[in-house]
Amino acid sequence: PCVDEDSCDYLFKTVLIGDSAVGKTNLLSRFAKDEFYLDSKPTIGVEFAYRNTKVGDKIVKAQIWDTAGQERFRAITSSYYRGALGAMLVYDITRRGTFENLKKWLHELREFGDRDIVIVLVGNKSDLVDLREVDVEDGQKLAQLENLCFMETSAKDNMNVEDAFLQMITKIYEIAS
């Protein structure tokens, strides 16, 4: 059900997670740019944006939360995950450590997230070919193992960003409808 004032058929809360500086904020601004407003919540340090998309004949409003840097302080709380139907788990293909940390993020998702939460694994910064430290196959293997959707993106070049979000939203829709 859609509880927002302007018309839509569904409202889905989704969250962005992953290490600092992997590109979460830039992925969000890429996706949300057209129809977007960014709400600052300085008191709790969370920002989110909306974007409407059409899935079949329904209008789905995705409310996408960004950590606003909280992950640096290990301060993401259960309220961040509460009610989230989807999560975009982002690492940086040029920093191996951000890939290794995915285990920690998956653990946290399973602890705080909804049981049926749709997870899309995203290897961002695919434009930085010369700096790559994580092979595409590594991402694919992990996704297969953990039963996640997977995509490499570039927020900079606008590669696969739309696809990654739409995949998440469509998957949620299939479960929710």
Q: Quote the least distance from Cβ 26 to ligand GDP, whole Å.
A: 4
Q: Does 22 bind ligand GDP (CB under 6 A)?
A: yes
Q: Which of 150, 154, 98 is nearest to 126 (CA)?
A: 154
Three-state DSSP at 29 gives helix
Please check whether residue 84 is in contact with residue 15, taking contact to mean a CB–CB distance below 8 angstroms: yes
Which amino acid is residue 109, in one-letter code? L
Q: Does 20 bind ligand GDP (CB under 6 A)?
A: yes
Q: Does 21 bind ligand GDP (CB under 6 A)?
A: yes
Q: Of the candidates 14, 98, 154, 160, which one interacts with ligand GDP according to CB under 6 A?
A: 154
Q: Of the candidates 11, 55, 128, 166, which one interacts with ligand GDP according to CB under 6 A?
A: 128
Q: Which residue, 86 or 123, is less far from ligand GDP as judged by CB? A: 123
Give the sheet arrangement for strand 86-92, strand by strand: 38-41, 46-55, 58-66, 10-17, 86-92, 118-124, 149-152
Binding site for ligand GDP (CB under 6 A): 20-26, 124-125, 127-128, 154-156
